[in-house]
Amino acid sequence: MKQFFTVVAFILLTIAFFSGYSNFGIPQIEPAPPPKEEKLDLGSMTMDQFIALGDRIFQGKGTCTLCHNSLGRAPMLGTIAEVFQERLKDERYKGGAEDLEAYLVESLVEPSAFVVAGFGKKGTNDAESPMPNVAAGSIGLSEAEVSAVVAYLQDQAGAEVTVEIPTDVGETEEEDEEEAREALDDPKAIMAQFTCDACHMINGEGGEVGPDLSKIGAAYDRDYLRRALLQPNADIAKGFEADMMPEDLGEQMFVSELEVLLDFLVELK
Ligand code: HEC
Ligand code: HEC
């Protein structure tokens, strides 16, 4: 019996030793930093990261480069730090901004507060901007995303970045949806996904950079429309400019989405 207790005691001691050793003796391995898929933990972001986020939104989700590019559809923004003063003094200025940051935010969410001369919607004598409110509709940037874009624009223009990184915002989803996206089967959702409405009007809603599509199905057949989407520069709609429609829709869209969209467009009569 004594032997039995000795063995049990030995076993217990051994277990105690090893569990103690593994808890205290072996150095704890630091968990690896989360993979770089950008969890938007704004609280721990540096300003450089916040500006880089603004850059990505500018090129991506914000769709800004659809218009703000070298084709002259919209003003280039690199000199905004110098020219915004003149904007504020202009008699056509209807906004309430007093500094660059406020002017930029206003330009994003209330584009018609000031319309840069020569860039207004056709026929409005520069009273209305063709730029959509990027915090609403299909672009729908969150407040934090607008701030990030403004920080990026200030940085790009060589101005002091006055934006503060917001701390109390919910998650800002970034566009890893691109990879993991599932095919959409609702034409409205597809058009929202590809921000067609930033440029096209349907039944009174949308932009005027491209032709009104409200009756497009009466004017053209499916083959023409397919070509208009896949090779936008093959036929240029009268009165509109080439090189405006995104040219890579064919690569970005699922085949099924293209067909759903065409089903929808041919019925617009
Ligand atoms: C559909 C085309 C279009 C899109 C998309 C667009 N813009 Fe614009 N933007 C314009 C046009 C045209 C103007 C000039 C008319 C005006 O002042 O509103 C303009 C004006 C501006 C101005 C004021 C420029 C100045 O010189 O005063 C800023 C700032 C700006 N855009 C930023 C952005 C940002 C940032 C995005 C993306 C989040 C964006 N825009 C998306 C067309 C667009
Ligand atoms: C950045 C602006 C822009 C975006 C975004 C855009 N388009 Fe266009 N689109 C244009 C312009 C400008 C034209 C006219 C020039 C041309 O025919 O290429 C056009 C032409 C068209 C035409 C041919 C119209 C005609 O009368 O010949 C169709 C159809 C069309 N777009 C559908 C779409 C759909 C659907 C989407 C979204 C998947 C889309 N566009 C996104 C600017 C845009």
Question: Identity (one letter) of the amino acid at 163?
Answer: V
The helix/strand/coil state of 205 is: strand
> Is the separation of the CB atoms in 267 and 259 below 8 Å?
no
Strand spans (E) along the chain: 201-202, 205-206
**Which CATH fold would you assign to the domain 181-269?**
Cytochrome Bc1 Complex; Chain D, domain 2 (1.10.760)
CA atoms within 13 Å, Cβ hemisphere of 72 = 4
**Which CATH fold would you assign to the domain 42-170?**
Cytochrome Bc1 Complex; Chain D, domain 2 (1.10.760)
Q: What is the pLDDT of residue 208?
A: 84
Q: What is the pLDDT of residue 180?
A: 65
Cα–Cα distance, 217 to 267 (Å, whole number): 5
Q: What is the pLDDT of residue 92?
A: 95
Q: What is the pLDDT of residue 263?
A: 95
Q: Which of 241, 245, 254, 255 to mutate to test the pocket of ligand 2 (most atoms within 8 A of CB)?
A: 245
Other residues' Cβ atoms within 10 Å of the Cβ of residue 188: 13
Cα–Cα distance, 13 to 19 (Å, whole number): 10
The helix/strand/coil state of 204 is: coil
The two domains 42-170 and 181-269 share their CATH topology (first three levels equal):
yes
Cα–Cα distance, 113 to 100 (Å, whole number): 14
Protein residue with least CA distance to atom 27, ligand 2? 237
For residue 179, the CA-to-ligand 2 centroid distance in Å is 24
Residue appearing with tokens 């349907």: 202
For residue 197, the CA-to-ligand 2 centroid distance in Å is 9
Residue appearing with tokens 């704890």: 28
The structural domains of the chain, with segments of one domain joined by +, span 42-170, 181-269
Index of the ligand 1 atom closest to the CA of residue 83 = 26
Q: What is the pLDDT of residue 235?
A: 84
Cα–Cα distance, 216 to 225 (Å, whole number): 9
Pocket of ligand 1 (CB under 6 A): 58, 62-64, 66-68, 74-75, 77, 80, 83, 87, 104, 107-108, 111, 114-116, 119, 129-131, 134, 149, 198-199, 207, 209
For residue 262, the CA-to-ligand 2 centroid distance in Å is 13
Pocket of ligand 2 (CB under 6 A): 66, 191, 194-196, 198-200, 209-211, 213, 216, 225, 228-229, 232-233, 236-237, 240-242, 244-246, 249, 261
Q: What is the pLDDT of residue 10?
A: 55
Q: What is the 3-state secondary structure (H, E, C) of 38-87?
A: CCCCHHHCCHHHHHHHHHHHHHCCCCHHHCCCCCCCCCCCCCHHHHHHHH
Spell out the residues 6+ positions from residue 87 whose beta carbon is closer than 8 angstroms to its own.
Answer: 93, 103, 114, 116
Q: What is the pLDDT of residue 179?
A: 52
In order along its 269 residues, the chain shows pLDDT tens digits of: 556 556 555 555 555 545 544 444 444 445 444 444 445 667 778 999 999 999 999 998 999 998 898 888 899 999 999 999 999 999 999 999 999 999 999 999 999 999 999 999 888 899 999 999 999 888 889 999 999 999 999 999 999 999 998 876 555 555 444 456 788 999 999 998 888 988 899 999 888 889 999 999 999 999 999 999 988 888 888 888 787 788 888 888 888 899 999 999 999 99
For residue 102, the CA-to-ligand 2 centroid distance in Å is 32
